[in-house]
Structure formats: structure tokens, C-alpha cells
Amino acid sequence: MTVAQTTQETPSPIEVTEATLPSLDKLSISDETTTAPTEPESNPTNPENPTTEDPIKIKKPALQERLARGDVPFTFGQRFLDDTQDVFSHNAWDHVEPDEEFLNFTEVQLNLQRENPVDEEAKLKYNENPAKFWDKFYKFNTKNFFKDRKWLGIEFPSLFECVKEGAGDKRILEVGAGAGNTFFPLLRENHNDKLRLVAADYSKKAIQVIREQEEFKTAHESGVADAVVWDLSAVGEDGGCSRPEGVEPNSLDAVIMVFVFSALAPDQWEQAVKNVSGLLKKGGKVLFRDYGRGDLAQVRMKKGRYLQENFYIRGDGTRVYFFDEEELRTEMEKGGLKVDHFAFDRRMIVNRQRRLKMFRCWAQMVCTKE
């Protein structure tokens, strides 16, 4: 029995060796078919995130079905596991805290990672020009790589107020828009001719992918959409805030940050929040979702990926951080953003055939500029 294998009755002893790790590696951690918000999908070029082997198939209710059943923001999935149920009777359970076995496995893994960090020379390479690695990423993974974020309508309803017919002058920026998997679903819902929706990313290639879409071209011609290259962590020319071209200070109703903050190094957080805060109007909102501390994607990181505590380099050279609640709250508040709502979306994914339990964790937040 390997480390992540369990039976319900008799939890296996933790036995983490290099030899046991491949059993985890072979699992896809893509969220493509899960019921709630998703994170970036597995990267086929990344040995830590194989996509096709042993996919975990979980039937996903359609957005309309979720809206109809009255799903509300920050409640996430509704499949609860209680003592009477067989954990292996379904593929996924919501709101499940990691069990002791997974926590022990996590501890062993994190120690292994710390003892085998990225070497100093490589660290410099990854931190010097991180956009370069995302450019490469979008060269190979264009618009179909990440799954469209259809859950936006449930988790961040304030966004959808902005796209209703007659909502009036509304300005939204998505930072780290990538290939537009958040940007386009929102654009498709738009009935507000006074909306201005801007996608920003520091990867030139990502912005090119967005600009090449017919949907973008039409919306751009009508003055609704724009897409610009911008580094969220940039320092402004005067040493203050930086802003994307065409976006005025204190002008935005909302800034969307979906899996972008995790790509920054911790010493970039302060400037990034300052920039976002400087762009929002008073009462404007930040809508945030990203990796939570102890997520399977962190735990499974192998030797030679550790940059610093909770910060790693993926196989494709892109960086990723895993957050806890306190540090996110602190950073937002330092930048003048009040955290209205914070929750971890936790899910246990089960591989029934192999009797494996895996724990996912995402942080979700809504903040307001005071």
C-alpha cells in the first residue's frame, strides 16, 4: 500500500519514499469535471501535472442547474460526507478537511522539498523574467488550456450586476487574464453597452491570444473590451502606483484576480495590492480566487522545485505560491482593501479504483476599497 492509498476501515501507515511518489504523480489533478470553481488545469508539459493518465471523472452540474438549485456565493459544493457514508462511494466530497494521513504525508513532503531547493543560479533565472515562462506557456497552450470559469456567476454575482442591461457605466479589469478563460465568459454574458472590460497580463503572448479571438475583435470595435500588456507588480514611473494603459486611477468597479497573485513572489505582493487599490474607485471590489496552503498541487511538488516557503517553480518554469488566510488578509488590508468575505474551498477527491484520497484547497475572497 502506498502513501496515498487508504481503505476506509484501516488507514495505512505513512510510508513516504521516493518510490511511493509516482503513485501520486500518475493522478491527474485537473478540476475539469468537478462541481465547483476550478483552478488552472494540469499542464501537459509539466511532469508534476500529467493530464491524461487516470483522469478523475466527476460529473459537473451545468451552471444553470447550480443557479436553479440556489447555490449561493462561498458555499461551494454541496456533497457532504458524514460517518454513515462510504468515502469511496463518490468521486468527490466538499468541505472535507485533510485527514491525519494526508497531513503527515504533507509534513514529510514539505521537509523533502525544503531539503532539495532550486539551486541559486536557477532561482535567479526564474525570478528575473517570469513573464518569459508564461510567454512560452501560451505558445504551446492557447485558448483551450484552462477551462472557462463558468462558476463566476455564482461566486461573484456582483460582476454579473455590471453586465446587466442598463447597468450603466461600469469598469472592470481582469489582471493576469491569460488566454481569457475568465474574461470571455464574462464578455459573453454582457448586455451592458456601457461596460468597459479590460484584460491585462504581463505575458505578451497571452494578450496576443486574446486579441486574436473574433469575440474580442467585435467587442473591441464597439468599445467594450480591451486587452493590454501590464505587470501587476510594476512600480510606477514616479515610484508610486503603476497602471495599465487606458485605465485611470480610482476608476474601476471591480478587479478580477483569478490564479494570478500566486504567480508573484512574496516581495511583490505589497506593490501589486497598492496598484490594484489605486485603480479601484471607492467601494470598488477585488474578486479573488487562488491556491490555498496544503493543496495537493503543493504537497506533490518534487525535489528541486522549492524557491522559498510555500513558493515553487513548476516544471514549465512558472512560479506558484500557496496562501494561508492570515497573509492574504494582511496584504489586502495593508493596501487599503477591506476583506468582506474569505473562505477556503476544500474538496476531497477520491480515486475509487485505486482507493486514493486527495485534498484540494483554494482560497476565495471579496475585498472592498474603503
Ligand X SMILES: C[S@@+](CC[C@H](N)C(=O)[O-])C[C@H]1O[C@@H](n2cnc3c(N)ncnc32)[C@H](O)[C@@H]1O
Interaction site with ligand X (CB under 6 A):
40, 134, 146, 149, 175-178, 181-182, 201-203, 206, 231-233, 258-260, 263-264
Q: Minimum distance from CB of 165 to ligand X (Å)? A: 26
Q: Which is nearer to ligand X, 307 or 348 (CB)?
A: 307
User: Angle 214-221/204-211 helices, nearest 10 degrees?
Assistant: 80
Residue 306 amino acid letter: Y
Q: Which is nearer to ligand X, 102 or 202 (CB)?
A: 202
Q: Minimum distance from CB of 170 to ligand X (Å)? A: 20
Q: Which is nearer to ligand X, 135 or 327 (CB)?
A: 135
Q: Minimum distance from CB of 211 to ligand X (Å)? A: 14
**Separation between Cα atoms, residue 289 and residue 343, nearest integer Å:** 10
**Separation between Cα atoms, residue 181 and residue 40, nearest integer Å:** 10
Q: Minimum distance from CB of 127 to ligand X (Å)? A: 12
**Separation between Cα atoms, residue 313 and residue 127, nearest integer Å:** 10
Q: Which is nearer to ligand X, 99 or 189 (CB)?
A: 189
Phi and psi torsions of 364, nearest 5° = -130, 140
Q: Which is nearer to ligand X, 98 or 176 (CB)?
A: 176
Q: Minimum distance from CB of 87 to ligand X (Å)? A: 30
What is the DSSP secondary-structure string of 325-348? HHHHHHHHHHTTEEEEEEEEEEEE
Q: Which is nearer to ligand X, 93 or 259 (CB)?
A: 259
Q: Minimum distance from CB of 264 to ligand X (Å)? A: 6
Whose grid coordinates read 469575440? Answer: 215
Q: Which is nearer to ligand X, 314 or 347 (CB)?
A: 314
What is the DSSP secondary-structure string of 174-205? EES-TTTTTHHHHHHT---TTEEEEEEES-HH
Q: Minimum distance from CB of 303 to ligand X (Å)? A: 23
Residue 65 is inside which H or E element, if any?
helix 63-68
Query: What strand order describes the sheet that includes 252-258?
Result: 92-94, 337-351, 356-369, 280-291, 252-258, 170-175, 195-201, 225-229
Residue 336 vs residues 95, 248, 279: alpha-carbon distances, Å = 30, 18, 12
Q: Which is nearer to ligand X, 163 or 227 (CB)?
A: 227
Residue 116 vs residues 89, 111, 126, 183, 274: alpha-carbon distances, Å = 38, 9, 16, 38, 34
**Are the CB atoms for 101 and 11 separated by under 8 Å?**
yes
Phi and psi torsions of 160, nearest 5° = -80, -15
Residue 296, number of CB atoms within 10 A of its CB: 21
Q: Minimum distance from CB of 195 to ligand X (Å)? A: 19
